[in-house]
Amino acid sequence: MKRFFKKSLRNIAFAITFLLLLMLLLPTLFPDFVANKVKYWANSSITGEVNFSKVSLSFFHHFPSLTLTMYDVDVKGAAPFANDTLLHAKEVSLGINMKALLQRKVKVDAFYINHATVQVLVDSNGTANYNIYKSVDTTTTASNDSSMALQIERIVFDDTKLVYNDASLPMFITADSIQYTGKGDLSKAIFDLQSSFSAERFYFKYGGQEYFGNKRLQANLITKINTNSLAFVFEKNDISINKLPVSFRGKFAFLSNGYDMHFELASKETDLQDVFTALPPTIVRQLDGLTVNGYTELKASLVGQYIASEQQMPTLAANVKVRNGNITSTIAPSPISHLFLNMNVDMPQCNPDSLNVKIDSIYLTMGQEYLSAIIETKGITNPYINTKVKANIDIEKWTKAIGIQHITAKGLCQIQASANGFYTTAINPNSIRPDTVVTSIPAFNINASISNGYFRYNHLPLAIETFNGKLTAQCNTSQWQDASIQLHAIEAKAGNNRLSGFFNLKNIRNYPIQTQLQLQLNLADIAKIIPIQGYDVKGDIAMQLQANGTYEPHKKRFPKANLTVKTNNVSIRTPYYPRPIERITIDALLRSTTGNYKDITVQVRPIAFLFEKHPFTLKAHVSNWNNLRYNISSNGIIDIGKIYQVFQVPGYQINGSIATNLSLQGTQADATAGKYQNIQHKGTLRVQDISLYSDLFPQPLVIYQGALHAEQDKMVFDAFSAKYGSSHFQLSGYIQNSIGHVLQGKQLLGNLTVKSKYLLLDELMVYHNNTNNNTTNNKPATGVIMLPNNIACSINGSVDKILLQNTLVQQATIGMQLQQGVLQLNNTGFRIADATVSMQGNYYATTPTKAYFNY
């Protein structure tokens, strides 16, 4: 027995030694053979560029498999990403079938990828960089017995990073420290792939919004794959997102121009706390210090075809249920309890404008306090809204209960609100230029109040220590003009700053208003109450307003009103411009004693400021708006371009400056009656690089330099050079009734002389260079030249060349009269085609596309 045991040990030792020697020697017998086959396969099967530094063949790299390992592998993607890396790996190992190798054939049955980065890129047309595998002629392959064959049964990714950037969706995914093992006979046309997957850090963005950030993923998957039809069936897939367990089922198939998908995701009988661990990072960060529990069910689906070239998208749906939810905070005296939620979300064709969100019930309580709501919205561009909200909450308790720690808020808040209807907009048909107007709103009713309110950012020194008020707002129709708003018993106090009063507006048709407001504000305290980065405001503002009545300009009705506004040493600096507007002083009064235009008085005593070392002052006393009596003086420089930078508004750029030294005094009646001796206008006005816009014309009038002086009721042009489009010209002459025109829209009178070397009249046409207005023959519709109807002016002058719709007119002399939108040609002459023409006639436009011309 002892001899038998020793003999057995010798045999085992010999066998092990033989196997080890065989495992050491076999790779040395076939290294070039295997490497050459791999290189041949790579060159014949992959369109992208493949590079690696060296190759080794060993049993011990992935024992006991014989593996060919390529080091420092770099694979480029398919066009249009031929210069971008698809795969970079420290090691890529191919498992070699030993039986086939002894027959001088190479069959790869496993892939091992270590320390790799996989970058999948898809452009806006849906073209991907992973389409690098060449289609193979099966006849040629069958006849070539020496070819390398792929019969993959195992795929392993170790410590791999995935980047997926799809510009066609747009969607962005990154996953770090991926561990993946997949098993299945991939050589078959139809096979089952069993997978185990984990990622330490998973990020997901869609449409620029981050939904998953730094989440840990784990998944065990069974996938049925059909390589003939490029279809995938996800039969059993158990996924864990942080602590949230999710079951995933579905199908996915590649189409010639996109994808076909049917995905269903569910998480049943899940604790609410586990759901919160999977929420987007912006929400998770706000939930620190909270304990959440309750019964939860989640369902989601994505069904349909994605074909970017046809703008076809799948439909997204989701359902969330919460029962018996509780939210407990370490800083709250009692938890939020009885959380109940039913929510459904549908987005057909993944079109945001088709988004339907229905929360048919949300309810939660804290002791005797509660919040309940029903919310339904359909669409985004012109959404349908149906909602009901009721709440009775102690703000301090509820803010603490949901973990808000950076602010302190107090007060009793009561809300009862409802809304039902469509919010729609449309292009105003009465506007020459595209102008979006609100055409309907949901009918609504709001009753809300707050008492004993208090608010403070904890890192700032000043609080709104008192806030009380009641809001009542309603609109029983779909017309926003029928909306009414009442603010009762408004009271707010922050340090020495005060706001008190009431405000009632019954509708927005004839503006029946009743209000009394008082404001005392130290602007420097704003930064002590709310965080404002980059702003520096100082000074005091005091305002008092009393008003009662209606505002109906067409009936010359104005509310009985008394408004005073005073500021003291105000300074404003914003992050958009390095220097402030300083010494802003406003002492203004508006008074209307009877509600009649005759009794309106406006006093500006003064408005003044200093900017870039240039002072500006405006004083005015305007009364009796039935017979406008005015006394206006202005002195100083306004650099409009730089002031506009201070209050920067995105999408606009304004330049230019105005210098004034004016004194204007008189009445509208004297100007109309020609009693110019009673009108005292004097001083100068200079403008430089100012652009003037009008809806009548598609381009601005740019005034390079304008110098005017006041003379009785006239503003006389001393020098005026300007351009409109490609036309340059000079003006001389005068205008009258400028005060009535500016303040009341009265008719502007004038007598002007124009000189120009070239005028392109096409650029005056209302839709010139506007591709949004097309005729039936697809040629741009330029419209006609619109003329203002509130100007009465004589225009004379000369133009060397005039071009109108490719017709050239030369040596033009102009004699015209513009009156209420009608242009009368009196003594107009020109040369055309070497002929001298004298013309009389009139021109007027009835619509932006129709005009009449008689001559």
Q: Are 347 and 341 in contact (CB under 8 A)?
A: no
Highest mean pLDDT among 30-44, 167-181, 250-264 belongs to 167-181
- Burial tier of 792 (Cβ tally within 10 Å: 0-12, 13-18, 19+): middle
Of 278, 357, 291, nearest to 328 by C-alpha is 291
3-state secondary structure of 454: strand
Asked if the model's pLDDT at residue 90 lies above 80, the reply is: yes
Q: Are 627 and 747 found together in one domain? A: no
Q: Which of 229-243, 452-466, 655-669, 823-837 has the lowest mean pLDDT?
A: 229-243
Asked if the model's pLDDT at residue 140 lies above 60, the reply is: no
Within-domain flag for 301: no
Q: Are 613 and 635 in contact (CB under 8 A)?
A: no
What average pLDDT does the segment 545-555 reach? 94
Tell me the percentage of the chain whose pLDDT exceeds 70: 88
Determine the Cα–Cα distance for residues 739 and 758; give it in Å rounded to an integer.
32
Tokens of 639: 């650099």
Q: Are 180 and 38 found together in one domain? A: yes
**646 Cβ partners below 8 Å, 6+ apart?**
572, 573, 574, 576, 577, 580, 581
Q: Are 664 and 656 in contact (CB under 8 A)?
A: no
Q: Are 48 and 176 found together in one domain? A: yes
**What is the per-residue pLDDT for 60?**
59
**Mean confidence (pLDDT) of the chain:** 85
What average pLDDT does the segment 109-125 reach? 90
Alpha-carbon dihedral 842, 845, 851, 852, rounded to 10 degrees: -30
- Where does the pLDDT of residue 36 fall: very low under 50, low under 70, confident under 90, or very high at 90 and above? low
- The better pLDDT of the pair 674, 545 is held by 545
- Out of 614, 634, 654, a domain closes at 634
Determine the Cα–Cα distance for residues 362 and 321; give it in Å rounded to an integer.
10
- Where does the pLDDT of residue 142 fall: very low under 50, low under 70, confident under 90, or very high at 90 and above? very low
Within-domain flag for 776: yes
Of 607, 625, 620, nearest to 663 by C-alpha is 620
Q: Which of 388-397, 544-553, 689-698 has the lowest mean pLDDT?
A: 689-698
**91 Cβ partners below 8 Å, 6+ apart?**
69, 70, 71, 73, 112, 113, 114, 115
Q: Are 624 and 745 found together in one domain? A: no
Backbone φ and ψ of 593, nearest 5°: -90, -30
Tell me the percentage of the chain whose pLDDT exceeds 90: 47
Determine the Cα–Cα distance for residues 814 and 375; give it in Å rounded to an integer.
66
Q: Are 175 and 162 in contact (CB under 8 A)?
A: yes
Backbone φ and ψ of 305, nearest 5°: -105, 140
586: containing domain: 533-634
Within-domain flag for 840: yes
Tokens of 335: 């938890």
Instruction: Please report the DSSP string for 682-719 in residue order.
Output: EEEEEEEEEEE--TTSSS-EEEEEEEEEEETTEEEEEE
The sign of the dihedral angle between the CA atoms of 428, 429, 431, 432 is positive
Cβ count near 572 (within 10 Å): 19
- Out of 634, 668, 684, a domain closes at 634
**What is the per-residue pLDDT for 144?**
46
Within-domain flag for 627: yes
Determine the Cα–Cα distance for residues 498 and 705; give it in Å rounded to an integer.
47
**What is the per-residue pLDDT for 231?**
81
Determine the Cα–Cα distance for residues 319 and 301; give it in Å rounded to an integer.
9
3-state secondary structure of 464: strand
Within-domain flag for 207: yes
| Amino acid residing at 855 | Y
Within-domain flag for 358: no
Backbone φ and ψ of 771, nearest 5°: -80, -5
Within-domain flag for 215: yes
Within-domain flag for 120: yes
**What is the per-residue pLDDT for 114?**
94
* Per-residue CA distances from 219 to 49, 175, 178, 223, 240 (Å): 33, 13, 11, 12, 6
- Burial tier of 408 (Cβ tally within 10 Å: 0-12, 13-18, 19+): middle
Tokens of 312: 């076809």
Cβ count near 855 (within 10 Å): 10
pLDDT in tens, 304-356: 998 888 888 999 999 999 999 888 887 778 888 999 999 999 999 888 888 99
User: Which residues lie across from 275 on neighbouring strands?
Assistant: none
Question: What is the helix (H) or strand (E) element at residue 587, kind and residue range?
Answer: strand 581-592
Q: Return the DSSP state at 554.
A: G
**Domains of the chain: total:** 3
Of 828, 662, 643, nearest to 738 by C-alpha is 662
Asked if the model's pLDDT at residue 228 lies above 80, the reply is: no
**What is the per-residue pLDDT for 650?**
59
**What is the per-residue pLDDT for 78?**
86
Of 821, 820, 841, nearest to 829 by C-alpha is 841
Q: Are 616 and 752 found together in one domain? A: no
- Where does the pLDDT of residue 222 fall: very low under 50, low under 70, confident under 90, or very high at 90 and above? confident
3 state SS for 106-135: CEEEEEEEEEEEEEEEECCCCCECCCCECC
What average pLDDT does the segment 144-156 reach? 66
Supply the angle between the helices 31-45 and 2-29 in degrees, to the nearest 10. 50
What average pLDDT does the segment 750-767 reach? 92
Determine the Cα–Cα distance for residues 385 and 382; give it in Å rounded to an integer.
10
- Where does the pLDDT of residue 104 fall: very low under 50, low under 70, confident under 90, or very high at 90 and above? low
Of 595, 594, 599, 596, nearest to 623 by C-alpha is 599
Determine the Cα–Cα distance for residues 356 and 375; give it in Å rounded to an integer.
11
- Out of 634, 660, 682, a domain closes at 634
Q: Which of 201-205, 652-656, 675-679, 719-723 has the lowest mean pLDDT?
A: 652-656
pTM above 0.85, yes or no: no
